[in-house]
Amino acid sequence: MLKNKIISLVGARPQFIKEAIIASEVYKTNAWNHILVHSGQHYDTNMSDLFFQELQIPTPQYFLEVGSSSHGKQTALVMEKFEDILLLEKPDMVIVYGDTNTTVAGALAAAKLKIPVAHIEAGIRQKPKDMPEEINRVVTDHMSSLLFCCSELSSQNLKQENITKGVFISGDIMYDLFLRMKPHFLKEKMLHDFNLQEGEYTLITLHRDFNVDNKENLVSILEGLKGFTEETKLSVIFPMHPRTRNRIEEFNLTKYLTFMNIIPPIGYLELMGLLEGCTNVITDSGGLQKEAYFAEKQATVIMPDTGWREIIKSGWNQLVPANKAEELLPCILENKSIIYPENLYGDGKAAKVIVENIMSYLNR
Ligand code: UD1
C-alpha cells in the first residue's frame, strides 16, 4: 500500500521540541512519509539549530526563511511560502503545533487547499482574548480536522465552542519528551559552568510581548525580581530571549541586569538541567511552567492568566500579573506547602496516541 504523506510545520522553539517526539514515533512505526518544513520564525543558532542537534531532529526538507516581522507580515509570509510547498507536495495532512504565528499560518494555508489539519496541543484557552497566541489557537482549532488535547479541560474548552468531532485527549507530548530525555539533562554541567549551588538558585525566563514590550510592566517585573532576590538571597539565572534583551536595552533598563546572571538562550537539555537543580521557577513561558511541574518544581507564572490552568487550580503553580510583581515573594513563600498533583497531562505516551489516531483517520 502506498504510504500517506504528511507535512509537519515548525518554526519556533517550542515546536522543535514537540516535533522531536512526533518524528521519532513516526520513524519508529514507519507510519507515513514525514516531510518537515521549518518556517524560519526562529533562526538564531541558539533559538533553532541547537534544538535540532540536541534532540536529533532530522534536517527539514524545506526552510521558508520568513524571519522576524510584524504579526501580519510574518503570518502572511508563512502562508504564501507554505502554500507553494503544499501545492508541490500535495500532502494527505498537515500537522501544526501549539499557538505561534507559524501554527495559524500553516493551518490556514492547508485548510484553504482542503488539506486536513491535525493540531497538536489543541483546546488551550487563555485570557485576554486578543493576545496573539490566543488568536492563533482559536483560529487553528476551528480549521482543524484532528485536535489532540493535553487534558480533559482542553477538550471541554473545545466543546464550549462546538468543536466535538476529531477531538482526542492524548496527553502532552512535552511530557513524553521530558521522560525520554531526563537521563540526558545537563544539570551537573550547568551547575559547574555557571557556578551555581544545587537548590540555591531561581530559574527565570521572560519573553511575552505583554510583559516585555510594555515598559511599565517590564520595570514592575524587574523591580519585583530585585526585591525577591534581596529578600531570599537566592542567586538568579536568566537565559534571556532576544526580544527581552532588545527591550531592556531600548528602555534603558540595563541597570537591572547586575543582580542576575544573564545568559543567552540555551538548548533543551541545558534548560532542563537548570530546572532540575533550581529551588523554584519564575517564568511567562507556557512550556517552562509545565516542565517545572513535570520536574516537581513550583513556578510563579508572570501572566494574568495561563492556558495551563490545571496546575494553577491544583495550587502548585501561581499566577502573578506584571502589575502585581511586588507580590512575587509572598506568593512563592505561601505556595511552599502544596502537595504535588500527579498526572495532570497523561502518562507520557501521547505521541503513540497521536500517531495511531492520525493513521486511522487517513485510512478510514
Ligand atoms: C513566539 C511565539 C510564542 C512562543 C515563543 C517561543 C508567536 C505569536 N509567539 O514568540 O507563542 O512562546 O515564540 O520563543 O508566534 N528574535 C531573534 N532571533 C530569533 C527569533 C526571534 O532575535 O531567532 C527576536 C526578534 O527581534 C523578534 C523577536 O525576537 O522580533 C520575537 O520573535 P517572534 O518569533 O516574533 O516571537 P516570540 O516572542 O519568540
Q: What is the whole-number distance in angstroms between the Cα of residue 244 and the centre of ligand 1?
A: 10
| 41 close to ligand 1 (CB < 6 Angstrom) | yes
State the pLDDT confidence band at 115, using cuts at 50, 70 and 90: very high
Query: Is the shortest distance between the CB of 13 and ligand 1 below 6 Å?
Result: yes
Output the pLDDT for position 325.
85
Tell me: the pLDDT tens digits for 292-346?
Answer: 999 999 999 999 999 999 999 999 999 999 998 888 777 777 767 789 999 999 9
Dist CA 265 CA 206 (whole Å): 11
Q: How far apart are CA 289 and CA 345, in angstroms?
A: 13
Percent of the chain with pLDDT over 90: 92
The residue whose C-alpha atom lies closest to atom 35 belonging to ligand 1 is 68
Q: What average pLDDT is seen over the chain?
A: 96
Q: Is the pLDDT of residue 181 over 90?
A: yes
Residue 176 in contact with ligand 1 by CB distance below 6 A: no
Query: pLDDT band for position 259 (50/70/90)?
Result: confident
**Rg of the chain, C-alpha, whole Å:** 20
Query: What is the model's pLDDT at position 329?
Result: 77
Catalytic residue among 38, 42, 119, 207: 207
Tens digits of residue pLDDT in 59-92: 999 999 999 999 999 999 999 999 999 999 999 9
Q: Decide: 318 in ligand 1 pocket, CB within 6 A.
A: no
Give me the pLDDT at residue 2, please. Answer: 80
CA distance 170 to 239: 31
Closest residue CA from atom 16 of ligand 1: 242
13-17, 48-52, 195-199, 331-335: least confident range: 331-335
**Which ligand 1 atom minimizes the distance to the CA of 243?**
29
Residue 261 has pLDDT above 90, yes or no: yes
What value does the mean pLDDT take over residues 15-26?
97
Q: Is the CB of 99 under 6 A from ligand 1?
A: yes
Cβ atoms of 8 and 117 within 8 Å: the answer is: no
42 is catalytic: no
Ligand 1 geometric centre to CA of 41 (Å): 7
Q: What whole-number distance in Å separates Cα of residue 335 and Cα of residue 333?
A: 5
- Within 280-340, residue ranges assigned H as helices are 286-294, 309-313, 328-334
- For the CA atoms of 328, 333, 338, 340, the dihedral, rounded to the nearest 10 degrees, stands at 70
Which residue of 13, 41, 133, 174 sits with most ligand 1 atoms within 8 Å of its CB, as the best mutation to test the pocket?
A: 41
Nearest protein CA to atom 21 of ligand 1, as residue? 42
pLDDT at 360 > cutoff 90 = yes
Check if the beta carbon of residue 353 is closer than 8 Å to that of residue 345: no
For the segment 248-277, the average pLDDT, to the nearest whole number, is 96
Q: Does ligand 1 come within 6 angstroms of the Cβ of 38? A: no
Residue 199: pLDDT band (50, 70, 90) is very high
Mean per-residue pLDDT, 207-227: 95
Q: Mutation test of ligand 1: which of 52, 66, 140, 243 has the most ligand atoms closer than 8 Å to its C-beta?
A: 243
Q: Does 320 sit in the ligand 1 pocket, CB within 6 Å? A: no
Instruction: Name the band, by pLDDT with cuts 50, 70 and 90, for residue 357.
Output: very high
Q: Is 133 in the pocket of ligand 1 (CB under 6 A)?
A: yes
> Nearest CA to 150 among 51, 48, 287?
287
Distance 264 CA to ligand 1 centre (A): 14
State pTM to two decimals: 0.96
Q: Is 137 a pocket residue for ligand 1 (Cβ < 6 Å)? A: no
The 8-class DSSP code of residue 265 comes to -
Q: What local confidence, expressed as pLDDT, does residue 282 receive?
A: 96
pLDDT band at 286 (very low <50, low <70, confident <90, very high): very high
DSSP 69-94: --HHHHHHHHHHHHHHHHHHH--SEE
